[in-house]
Amino acid sequence: MSNKKNYAVFGLGRYGGAVAKELCANGAEVLAVDIDEEIVNDAVTEIPYCKCADVTDPETIRQLGISNFDVVIITMATNLEASVMSTMLCKEAGVKTVIAKCASEMNCRILEKVGADRVIFPENESGVRLAKNLVSSGFVDILDLSDDASMVELEVRPEWVNKSLLELNLRKKYSINIVAIIENDKVVVNIDPETPLRKEMSLIVIADTAKLAKFR
């Protein structure tokens, strides 16, 4: 049985469109929704499942089957009322993770209060980067260094606990270079390869972007 998550993206402006397209490009199941029919018709060539609908309407949320989605990304930052309503409806429908784009700090606080599990400023996080982080299981964060290389914060997997980097030989197995270890908010760059890893740690690695799929 596949353990891939499915995603719904509300709003297909520049940011929402980038999120939905990148998720699709990474093989995720994506439902994209916008109230503007022309935008939906333009997007369907790159995002197969597009709907023209009003996501502030409870009946629409029910008909879209939003309760079956793992993650909903709400990107209508310029319309606070729509963002608030759709966030509330998604949480009421039982969506585990609702991510909402916001236009100001105040808007972020409001969206958090009505149930958003995560709020984002587009200036700080691009749509493509958000999508990559969502579909990359086990990655805490991804930063593109170039078209071919990425820096990733990687969680220590259960099977790695109490084993050293020397034992694991991750560089040979996954073609990654470990540049730092984080534990208790401390970053250690002078790494002892014989120190056993602990579950509280995370690893900062640099890798060929194409080869990161081995971790999924």
Please give the chain's pLDDT, 216 residues, in tens.
344 789 999 999 988 998 899 899 888 899 999 999 999 999 998 999 999 999 999 999 999 999 999 999 999 988 888 999 999 999 999 999 999 998 888 888 889 888 899 888 765 455 556 665 565 554 445 454 455 666 777 788 888 899 999 998 888 887 778 877 888 777 777 788 898 999 888 887 777 766 665 555
Would you state the pLDDT for residue 38? 94
In Å, what is the CA distance from 178 to each residue of 119, 136, 153, 207, 211? Answer: 30, 18, 10, 9, 14
Q: How far apart are CA 164 and CA 157, in angstroms?
A: 12
Mark whether 195 and 122 lie in a shared domain.
no
Q: What is the CATH number of the domain that holds 201?
A: 3.30.70.1450
Number of domains in the chain: 2
In Å, what is the CA distance from 98 to each residue of 40, 61, 136, 211? Answer: 22, 14, 17, 29
Mark whether 77 and 164 lie in a shared domain.
no
- Structural domain of residue 21, as residue ranges? 6-134
Mark whether 124 and 150 lie in a shared domain.
no
Mark whether 171 and 95 lie in a shared domain.
no
Would you state the pLDDT for residue 191? 83
Q: Which residues touch 25 (CB under 8 Å, ≥6 apart)?
A: none
Would you state the pLDDT for residue 4? 74
Would you state the pLDDT for residue 140? 47
Would you state the pLDDT for residue 203? 82
Mark whether 117 and 40 lie in a shared domain.
yes
Q: What is the CATH number of the domain that holds 83?
A: 3.40.50.720
